[in-house]
Structure 1
Amino acid sequence: MQTPSPVNILLVDDQPENLVALEAILGELEANLVKSTSGEEALRCLLQEDFAVILLDVQMPQMDGFEVATLIRRRPRSQDTPIIFLTAFSSSEQFMFKGYALGAVDYLIKPIAPNILLSKVAIFIELFKKTEALRQKTATLEQQTTQLEAINTELQVSEERFRLLSTCSPLGVFVTDPEGHCIYTNPRFQAICRGVPTAAGPSWLDSVHPCDLDGARSSWAAYLQEGQEYAQEFRLRSEGEPARWASIRAARMVSEQKTFLGYVGTVEDITERKQAEAANAQIMREQVARQEAETANRMKDDFIAVLSHELRTPLNSILGWANLLQAGKLDPQKVEFAIDTIERNALVQKQLIEDILDVSQIVRGKLQLHRQPLDLVTVAETALETVRPAATAKAIALTTNFHDYNRLEVVGDALRLQQVIWNLLTNAVKFTPEQGRVDVHLSVVAELPQGQLPTGSCALSGAPAPAYAQLRVTDTGLGIDANFLPHIFDRFRQADSSITRSQGGLGLGLAIVHHLVEQHQGCVWAESDGLNQGAAFTVALPLTESLSPTAPPPAPAPAGEVPPQQALSGMPILIVEDDGDTRDFLAFLLESQGAEVTATASGEEALRLIGTLQPAVLLCDISMPDMDGYTLVEKVRSQLPEPQAHTPAIAITAHARLSDQARALSTGFQHHLPKPIEAEALIHAILQVAGAGSEPSGAG
C-alpha cells in the first residue's frame, strides 16, 4: 500500500529565530514545514503548494500579517486554508476581531506554549487529511460518474448503430445459442426466410425447400459438430412462387475470455444471381449447341462433298470405259483392261455403299452381330490375304507373328471382325508410302493399358476377362496430327477433307471399327508421334476361358470354289425382279450356266407361273411395287398346292442387314443374298437350296 505524503505547513515570520523555534516545536508532527520571512515570499509559496494550516506573524515590515491574510483569502485555492495569527504586541479584542474578520481560525500570543501550538496544529492537520481524502474520493466518484456516463453514451450510440445496421442490412442476420437455436434475427432475415418465427428455438432450416431440406440438415449438423466455417446455398420455400435461393454463412462466436457463445450467421437472397447463372448457362448451352450444330453441319457438308467426289470418280471410269466398250473400237488387250477397270471401280463403289449403310445402322442402333466362338488368328489371316495385293503393289513390307499362336478364341461375328482388321490394314497400306512397312502383331495380355486409353474408348462390360487378345497394326506412314488424334474415331470427320487431299475414302472406316469393337466388348485406340511419324492402331478383345481349341476350325465356305461350267444345266428357274437391268443380268447369267430361265416383274404373275412351270428354284426380289417378296413367298407357302408350295426360294435384295436376312428366312425363303450379286455365290446358293429342298440357310 502506498504511504501518504506528509502535509504542508506554512510558517511566516520576519524573525528567523522565531521560525527556528516554530520548527523545533512542530518537528514531531512529521509534516513538511515550509518557512517564509516575508509576506511576498509566503504568497509565492501558496502559488506552488497547498497547506493544511498557515502560521502567520502579524507584525512584519513592508506587508503585515493582516495584509497577507487579505491576499490569501482573495485567492480561491487558498480562501479556506486555516490561518493562525501569531503576535507579541496586542491581545485586545479589537485586534483579535480584525484577525477573525480576515478569516483567522485562531489567535496565539507570543511566547507560544508548545503544547497548545502542537494540539491546535495537529487538529488542523487531521482535518486537512480528512478533507483531502474526501475531496479525492469525491473526485474519484465524479471521474467514475463521468466515465460511466461516457460508457452509457457510447453504449447507446453502439446500440443505435447496431439497430440501424441490423435494420438496414442487405443481409439477413441470425444469432444462435451454442445448440444452434435462433435467439435473434433481423428484419431482413425475416423477409428472406418468410414464416420463420423470431422466438428462441426455430432455425433457418424451417424455411428451406423440402427437396433441399435433408442436405441442409445434414450439412448444418456436421457444422455444429466440427465448428468449421459454414457456407451453403439452398432453395427456399416459395409457396407457389418461382424458386428462391439463399446463401447461408455462419461462424462461431467466442468472447474475449474464450467462452463459446453460439453462432452468428447471414442469409443472402441470391435468387437473381441464380437466375442470371441459369440464363448464362442456357446461353452457353445454346452457344455450344449452335457451335456443335455448325460443326456437325460443316462436317456433313464436307462429308457430302467427299462422298460426291468418291462416288463420281469411279463412275467416271466406269461410264467412260463402258462407252468405249460400247463403241467397239478397242483391241482385245484394251477390252480386258477396260473390264478390269470397271470391275475395280465398281468394287470401290460397293465398299463405299457398304460403309454408308453400316454407319446408317450404327446411328440408328440397328447393327446386329452373329456371335459365335471363332479363331482370331484365322480371321486376321483372312483379312491380311485380302490386303496383301495392295501392299505388294506399293512394295510395302507386311510382317506378322501369327505363327506364335495356333488359336486365339474370342466370341464374335467373324465377318465383322474381319471387317475391323481389314479396315485397319487397308488404312495402314493406304497411308504408307511406297517401300514402307506395316507390322501386324498378335499377342495375349493379362490386362489393358488403361493409361493409354482415351476416355470413353473402351466398352468392357461385366467382370474383367481372364486375358485379352491384342492385335496391333503399326505403319511407317503419314502419321496423325496430335490435334486430330482425339477425333480419329469420329463419324464424318477426316484429318484432311480439302480438295487437295492425297488419299481417298469417306473417313467412315475407323468410326465403324470403333463401334464394332465396342459391340464385341473390346477396346480400340490409336497412337502416333505426329505427322510423318507413322501410326499404330490396337484392338483388344476378351478371350474365352481357354486358349486351346474348343471346336474344329470352320470349313472353307463353298462360295470360294469356282462352280463348274453348265452347273445349272436343264434346271427351271423363275426370276421375279421389277428392275429390268437386274432381271436381264440374272437371266443371262443363269442361262449361261444352262438353266431354263423364266423372268417376270410382277408378284401376281409369279404366283400363276409357279403353278404351271414348277420351277426348281424361285429367285425373288423383296422391294417390288405391286407385291413385295415377303408377301409373295408367304402366299406360295400358304395358297399353292404341293409340291409348288415347297418351291425353294432365294431372296435377292438390296436390304442387306442381319435383321433383313432373319426376316427373309422366317418368312419362308431358304437363302438370302444381298445385292450386288456375285455370280459364284448365286450359283452356289441355287445348287445348295435345290439340293437341300426347303431347309433354310443363311447368306453364304
Structure 2
Amino acid sequence: MTTPSPVNILLVDDQPENLVALEAILGDLGVNLVKSTSGKEALRCLLQDDFALILLDVQMPQMDGFEVATLIRQRPRSQDTPIIFLTAFSSSEQFMFKGYALGAVDYLIKPIAPNVLLSKVAIFIELFKKTEALRQKTETLQQQAAQLEAINTELQTSEERFRLLSTCSPLGVFVTDTEGRCVYTNPRFQVICGRGPELAPAAPAVPESESASGAVPGQSWLDSVHPDDLAAARSTWAAYLQTGQDYVQEFRLRPRGEIERWASVRSARMVSEQKNFLGYVGTVEDITERKRAEAANAQVIREQAARQEAETANRMKDDFIAVLSHELRTPLNSILGWANLLQAGKLDSQKVEYAIDTIERNALAQKQLIEDILDVSQIVRGKLQLHRLPVNLVAVAQTALETVRPAATAKAIALTTNFHDYDRLEVTGDALRLQQVIWNLLTNAVKFTPEQGRVDVHLSVVTRLPKETLSADPCPENSPEDGGPENGSRAPAYAQLRITDTGLGIAADFLPHIFDRFRQADSSITRSQGGLGLGLAIVHHLVEQHQGCVWAESDGLNQGAAFTVALPLAQSTSPQPPSALDRLPNEPPTRALRGLPILIVEDDTDTRDFLAFLLQTQGAVVTTTASAEEGLRLVDSVQPAVLLCDISMPDMDGYTLIRKIRNQLPAPQANIPAIAITAHARLSDQAQALSNGFQSHLPKPIEAETLVRTILQVTNSVHDLSRPGQN
C-alpha cells in the first residue's frame, strides 16, 4: 500500500513573530509547517518539497510577495500551488487585483482572525489530500493496467518466443526425461552433432539390463563424441545423472562426414514450481573457433614471452657492453695519462714511482676484466675445463685471503678468520679455480664494505645443508651412485666457507638474480662500484662444476651480505700428490738466464721489444725477428737454446712455423724447445699449441717470473732455480 504524501504548508514572512503567530494558529491541524523569512528562502524550500498551500506576506525587503509569487508560477512543479497573500499595509483593490492576477486564491488583511484562517487553510489541506489520493489511485490503476497488458502480451508471445528461441538459438538444446533419455533437440543441436532432423526426437533407449547395471543410456550428443574422448564423456555423464549437480564438460566431436570439432556440453535439472523433478535440460555449444583462438593466443603469448626474454637479454647485454666500455676505458685513461707524463720526463722520483704503481695497478685491473670475459665465454660454450686434483681448501683460502688483505687494509676493514681450527680440509678440484672462487667473493666483500667495516671468513665442516637457498638449489646429497659412501657407512660431509660483511647488502628483489650473467644491481652511469658483474656468475658455475653449491643471503640494502660455498669433502684419507698450488716453483733469482741464447719471433714491435729487454736483464742473449720466415732461417743459423713464438702472425702463423721446424730442419735444430706466446688463452688453445709441437703455452699478458720459470723448465734447467751464485 502506498504511503500518503506528507501535507506541507509554507509560511513566508520577514517578521519572525508573525511566523510564530501563524504557527500557533495552525499548529493543531497536524500538518508540517515550513517557515521562511525571505522570498529567496521560500523559493529554496519549493525546490525540495511540494506544498498544499503557501501563506505569503506581501511586504518583504529585497523581494516582495508579488515577485515571489511571479517566480513560483514560472516553475511547472509549483505553478498550481494555492497562494494566500497576507498584508498589514494595504487593502486597496489595486493590490488585491494584482495578487489575484498572480494566481492567488485569497488576499487576507492583517490582523487575521484565527478562525477564518483555520477554516480557509483546512479547506486547502483537505483538497490537497483528496487530490493526492486520487493521483495515487490513478497511478495504481495505470500500473495495474500496464502489468495486465504486459502479462497478456507475454502469454500471447510465450509460445512464439519458445519456438523462435529453439529454432534460432546459437546453442544446441536438448531435453531428457528423468532417466536421461533424450526427448527433444533443436535444429542447432542437430547441426552441431551432425544428426539428421529425422533423428531429432530421441535416441533409442538401452536395454533394461544395461541401464540397471549403471551404463549410460544412448544419447545423440554422446554418439558424436570423438572416440578418444568417448570414455570420459560417458563416465562424467553417468556421474552427473547420479549426483544431479550441474554438468559442464568440453569434448571433441567427430560428426559423420565432418572434420573434428570441439563442443561444450552443459546440463541442469528441471524442477517444476511444485518442486517436482521433470528431467534434464542441456546445451551443446560449438567452441571450435574459441579453441583455435586459444591455441593461437597461447602461441602468441609464447612468442611474446620469447621476444620479451630476448629483448631483456639484449638490454642486459647492451648495459653490459656500456659497463664494459667504462671499465676498460677507465684504467686505460690512467695508464695512458701517466705514460705520457713519464714520457715527458717532468716527474720527480716520487711521482715516477707513483706513476709506475698506478700503471701496473690499472693494467692488472684490465687483465682481470679480460680474464672474466674469457671465463664467461668458455662457460657459455661449455668449454671451461678443470684440472681435478686433491686440494687443501685451507691453503687455497689462505692464499686468496692474503691476496685481498692489502685492499682491506687500505680501507681499514677488519678481516677475521678461523683457519687455525683446521690444518687441512681436502676437496677434489682445480686449485686455481677454487682460489678464483674465494678471491672473487672476498674481493666483492671488501669492495662493497665501507671503510672501517668488517669481513668475516668462516671455514667449517657440515653434514647437512639448507633444503632451500635464495639463489641456488641445495647441494645434492652424496650417495653410492655418485661416489658417496656405500651402504650409508659414512655420512656425506661438506667443507663450508662462509664470507660475511657489513657492506651495502643486496635488495630483496635482486637477490634471486645475484648469480645471473650480465646482471648488476645498478648498471647506471651513477653506480658507485666498478666491475662487470661477471664475478658471481663465474663463481656459481665453478662451484657447480665442483659438485658444490653457493648461495647468498642479505637482510636488505645497507644490512650486509653473506655468501656461502659448500664443497664435498674428499672421501679418501690416503696420502695424495701435492696440489697445483703446492707445485708452483719459487720466484726465480735474478739473471737466471745468463748466457742462454733465445730467439723471439713476434710481429708486434712493442711486445717484441719488451720480451727482449726482459730476457736481457736476466742475462740471456736475445735475437728477435718479426717474420716467421725469418725465424725459420734464424733457428737454422743461430741455433738458439729456446724459441719464443707468437701464434697470430701475418703470412705464416706460429703453428705453421713450429711444424716446419719439427719436420724440415735437421737435428738438433728440429728439437729446439719452443714456447707459444699468444693472446689466445683458452685451454683449447693451450692444447692446440702442445699438439702442434710447442713445449709450453703462455697467454698474454706475460709475467716476468712466469716467463723465466717456463724457459728454465723447457730447457731442462729447473734445477737452476735453487742454484746459488746466479746473480
TM value normalised by structure 2? 0.65
Is the counterpart of residue 359 in structure 1 residue 376 in structure 2? yes
Give the whole-Å Cα distance in 2 for the aligned partners of 1:191 and 1:459. 60
The residue number in structure 2 matching 1:528 is 554
Give the Å deviation of 1:544.
Answer: 3.2
Give the whole-Å Cα distance in 1 for the aligned partners of 2:299 and 2:179. 42
Give the whole-Å Cα distance in 1 for the aligned partners of 2:390 and 2:276. 76
Give the Å deviation of 1:347.
Answer: 0.4
The residue number in structure 2 matching 1:661 is 686
Is the counterpart of residue 420 in structure 1 residue 449 in structure 2? no
Deviations 1:622-677 (A, max 9, x none): 22222222233233333333333322221211111122222222222221111110
Give the whole-Å Cα distance in 1 for the aligned partners of 2:478 and 2:226. 40
Choose from 682, 686, 690 the match for 2:711.
Answer: 686
Give the Å deviation of 1:238.
Answer: 9.8
Give the Å deviation of 1:336.
Answer: 1.6
User: What amino acid sits opposite 2:172 in the alignment?
Assistant: G
Give the whole-Å Cα distance in 2 for the aligned partners of 1:514 and 1:249. 54
Choose from 575, 590, 602 the match for 1:565.
Answer: 590
Choose from 539, 564, 576 the match for 1:513.
Answer: 539
Choose from 593, 614, 617 the match for 2:639.
Answer: 614
User: What amino acid sits opposite 1:482 in the alignment?
Assistant: A
The residue number in structure 2 matching 1:485 is 511
SS at 1:606 equivalent: helix
Deviations 1:12-37 (A, max 9, x none): xxxxxxxxxxxxxxxxxxxxxxxxxx
5 Å matches for 1:72-151? none
SS at 2:333 equivalent: helix
Give the Å deviation of 1:342.
Answer: 0.7
5 Å matches for 1:279-678? 279-285=296-302, 287-289=304-306, 291-454=308-471, 457=473, 460=476, 463=479, 466-546=492-572, 548=573, 550-554=575-579, 556=581, 561-678=586-703
Give the Å deviation of 1:474.
Answer: 0.5
Over 3 Å counting, the alpha-carbon distance change for 1:250 and 1:521 in structure 2 is farther
Deviations 1:600-629 (A, max 9, x none): 233333333322333322222222222222
Give the Å deviation of 1:428.
Answer: 0.4
Over 3 Å counting, the alpha-carbon distance change for 1:241 and 1:554 in structure 2 is farther
SS at 1:642 equivalent: coil
Over 3 Å counting, the alpha-carbon distance change for 1:405 and 1:416 in structure 2 is same
Over 3 Å counting, the alpha-carbon distance change for 1:189 and 1:322 in structure 2 is same
Deviates more, 1:277-286 or 1:179-188: 179-188
User: What amino acid sits opposite 1:435 in the alignment?
Assistant: Q
Give the whole-Å Cα distance in 1 for the aligned partners of 2:717 and 2:256. 77
User: Unpaired runs of 5+ in structure 2?
Assistant: 1-156, 205-217, 485-491, 719-727
Deviations 1:265-293 (A, max 9, x none): 54322233334434544554555455444
- Larger CA Rg, structure 1 vs 2: 1
Deviates more, 1:656-665 or 1:291-300: 291-300
Give the whole-Å Cα distance in 2 for the aligned partners of 1:375 and 1:407. 6
Given that 2:470 and 2:512 are in contact with CA atoms closer than 8 Å, whether structure 1 keeps it comes out as no
Is the counterpart of residue 192 in structure 1 residue 174 in structure 2? no
User: What amino acid sits opposite 1:221 in the alignment?
Assistant: S
The residue number in structure 1 matching 2:38 is none
Give the whole-Å Cα distance in 1 for the aligned partners of 2:189 and 2:662. 83
Deviates more, 1:599-608 or 1:396-405: 599-608
Over 3 Å counting, the alpha-carbon distance change for 1:609 and 1:540 in structure 2 is same
Task: Count residues with an aligned counterpart.
Answer: 535
SS at 2:551 equivalent: strand
Give the whole-Å Cα distance in 2 for the aligned partners of 1:287 and 1:597. 63
Given that 2:173 and 2:282 are in contact with CA atoms closer than 8 Å, whether structure 1 keeps it comes out as yes
Given that 1:318 and 1:341 are in contact with CA atoms closer than 8 Å, whether structure 2 keeps it comes out as yes
Given that 1:619 and 1:652 are in contact with CA atoms closer than 8 Å, whether structure 2 keeps it comes out as yes
Deviations 1:41-90 (A, max 9, x none): xxxxxxxxxxxxxxxxxxxxxxxxxxxxxxxxxxxxxxxxxxxxxxxxxx
Given that 2:675 and 2:696 are in contact with CA atoms closer than 8 Å, whether structure 1 keeps it comes out as yes
Give the Å deviation of 1:163.
Answer: 7.0
Given that 2:597 and 2:640 are in contact with CA atoms closer than 8 Å, whether structure 1 keeps it comes out as yes
Over 3 Å counting, the alpha-carbon distance change for 1:433 and 1:239 in structure 2 is farther
Over 3 Å counting, the alpha-carbon distance change for 1:242 and 1:598 in structure 2 is farther
Choose from 282, 285, 289 the match for 1:268.
Answer: 285
Give the Å deviation of 1:263.
Answer: 7.8
Give the whole-Å Cα distance in 2 for the aligned partners of 1:607 and 1:241. 81
User: What amino acid sits opposite 1:373 in the alignment?
Assistant: P
Give the whole-Å Cα distance in 2 for the aligned partners of 1:417 and 1:442. 14
The residue number in structure 1 matching 2:25 is none
Over 3 Å counting, the alpha-carbon distance change for 1:177 and 1:593 in structure 2 is farther
TM value normalised by structure 1? 0.67
Give the Å deviation of 1:177.
Answer: 10
Give the whole-Å Cα distance in 1 for the aligned partners of 2:423 and 2:219. 77
SS at 1:511 equivalent: helix
Give the Å deviation of 1:435.
Answer: 1.3
When the two chains are superposed, the root-mean-square deviation of aligned CA atoms in Å is 3.9
Give the whole-Å Cα distance in 2 for the aligned partners of 1:515 and 1:574. 40
Over 3 Å counting, the alpha-carbon distance change for 1:615 and 1:278 in structure 2 is same
Given that 2:270 and 2:277 are in contact with CA atoms closer than 8 Å, whether structure 1 keeps it comes out as yes
Give the whole-Å Cα distance in 1 for the aligned partners of 2:320 and 2:380. 16
SS at 1:691 equivalent: coil
Deviates more, 1:503-512 or 1:249-258: 249-258
Deviations 1:286-310 (A, max 9, x none): 5545544444444333323322222
Given that 2:440 and 2:535 are in contact with CA atoms closer than 8 Å, whether structure 1 keeps it comes out as yes
Give the Å deviation of 1:355.
Answer: 1.4
The residue number in structure 2 matching 1:217 is 231
SS at 1:618 equivalent: strand
Give the whole-Å Cα distance in 1 for the aligned partners of 2:223 and 2:570. 59
Deviations 1:128-149 (A, max 9, x none): xxxxxxxxxxxxxxxxxxxxxx
Sequence identity, in percent?
79
Given that 1:474 and 1:536 are in contact with CA atoms closer than 8 Å, whether structure 2 keeps it comes out as yes
SS at 1:452 equivalent: coil
Give the whole-Å Cα distance in 2 for the aligned partners of 1:630 and 1:262. 90
